[in-house]
Amino acid sequence: MADNERAFYVQLGERIAATRKTQGITQVQLAELLGVAQQTMAHYEGGSVRIPVETLAQLAQHLHTSVEALIGTPAAKARSKRGPASKLEQQLEQVHRLPKAQQKFVSQMLDTVLQQAQH
C-alpha cells in the first residue's frame, strides 16, 4: 500500500473508531453487525487493511452516518448561499447521526409541533 493510500486508510479507521465509540458500540459488536471477525474490524480501524466498498456502506449504515463523513469528504449540499450552515441545518445533521429510535422520536416531536402550528 502506498504511503498516501495508507494515510487515507489510517484516517478512515480513526473516524470509524471515533464514531463507533461516541455511539457506545464496541469493536466486537460492530464486527458482528458486519459479519466479520473482531480482528478484521481492528485492522479496518488501524488502517492496515483496505475496507471493501460494500462494507464501507454497511459501516455507515450501522454507525448512523454517511460514507462521506467516514471518508472525510463533506456531503455535497445544494445551498444557494455562502457562509456557515444555519442552526437548523446543524441540528438536522446532528439528528441524522442519532440512532434510528432517537431519530424517530425527534421526527414525532416535529410532527406534533407542526400540526399544532397549523391550527
Q: Give me the pLDDT at residue 32, please.
A: 95
Q: Give me the pLDDT at residue 27, please.
A: 95
The number of beta carbons lying within 10 Å of the beta carbon of residue 88 is: 8
Q: Indicate whether 30 pLDDT > 80.
A: yes
Q: Is 76 exposed, middle or buried (0-12, 13-18, 19+ CB in 10 A)?
A: exposed
Domain topology for 3-71: 434 Repressor (Amino-terminal Domain) (1.10.260)
Q: Give me the pLDDT at residue 78, please.
A: 44
- The residue ranges of every structural domain in the chain are 3-71, 87-118
Residue bearing the bigger pLDDT, 27 or 77: 27
